[in-house]
């Protein structure tokens, strides 16, 4: 039996994803986002969260999924990776669950239209449900991090 991982479950285009709780700072309701010129379309802009300016990425756009308008359930998940705080816009953030790390398999080449490099793995929750685990390092890869750091300056 592997170690237990606490994971925040969120939805994006009818798929369920997970991010380890220790990488998540906070989950916020949608708020005004200030657009920043000359950034990729999936970088929606920045928010001011309790005095801290945080870049916001639309995960649908990042993964090349169909864009939709924010709804009442939309959330911004604030994650931390390599001293960088970033907000991810997701369709909804549902709950926190425990997953046995042994239940996480290597991802196939493409899951739900998303290339495997963005995925850490796929966890089988039960017979019906799979949870796609994000690889934050790749979602926030070096070239984009450089752009995001320039936003914060």
Q: Please name which of 79, 61, 107 lies closest in space to residue 8, comparing C-alpha atoms.
A: 79
- Assign 149 to helix, strand or coil: helix
Asked whether the predicted pLDDT for residue 115 surpasses 80, the reply is no
Running DSSP on this structure, what letter comes out for residue 139?
H
Query: How confident is the model at residue 61, as a pLDDT?
Result: 86
Q: What's the CA gap between 137 and 94, in Å, rounded?
A: 23
Which tokens go with 53? 């300016």
| Domain boundaries of the chain, sorted by first residue | 4-152
Q: What are phi and psi of 149, to 5 degrees?
A: -65, -35
CATH for the 4-152 domain, from 2.40.50.140, 3.40.50.300, 2.40.50.180, 1.10.760.10: 2.40.50.180
Pair 10, 92: CB distance under 8 Å: yes
Residues 6+ apart with CB under 8 A from 128: none
Q: Can you give the pTM of this predicted structure?
A: 0.85
pLDDT digits (tens, 9 = 90+) for 74-102: 999 999 877 788 999 999 998 899 998 88
For the purposes of burial, counting CB atoms within 10 Å of the CB of 84, is it exposed (0-12), middle (13-18) or buried (19 or more)?
middle
- Residue 113: predicted pLDDT: 54
In angstroms, the Cα distances linking 58 to 70, 103, 125, 137 are: 10, 28, 26, 16
Three-state DSSP class for residue 140 = coil
Quick: pLDDT tens for 39-66. 888 889 999 999 999 999 999 988 888 8
Separation CA 31–CA 21 (nearest Å): 22
């Amino acid at each position: 039996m592997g170690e237990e991982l606490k994971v925040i479950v969120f939805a994006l285009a009818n798929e369920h994803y997970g991010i380890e709780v220790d990488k998540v700072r906070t989950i916020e309701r949608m708020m005004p986002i200030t657009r920043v010129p000359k950034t990729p379309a999936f970088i929606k802009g920045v928010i001011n969260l309790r005095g801290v300016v945080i870049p916001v990425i639309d995960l649908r756009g990042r993964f090349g999924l169909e864009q939709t308008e924010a709804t009442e359930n939309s959330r911004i998940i604030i994650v931390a990776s390599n001293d960088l705080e970033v907000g991810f816009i997701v369709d909804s953030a549902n709950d926190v669950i425990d997953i046995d790390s042994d239940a996480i398999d290597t991802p196939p080449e493409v899951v739900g239209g998303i290339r495997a490099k963005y995925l850490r793995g796929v966890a089988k929750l039960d017979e019906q449900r799979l949870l796609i685990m994000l690889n934050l390092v790749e979602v926030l890869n070096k070239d984009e991090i450089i752009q995001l750091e320039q936003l914060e300056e």
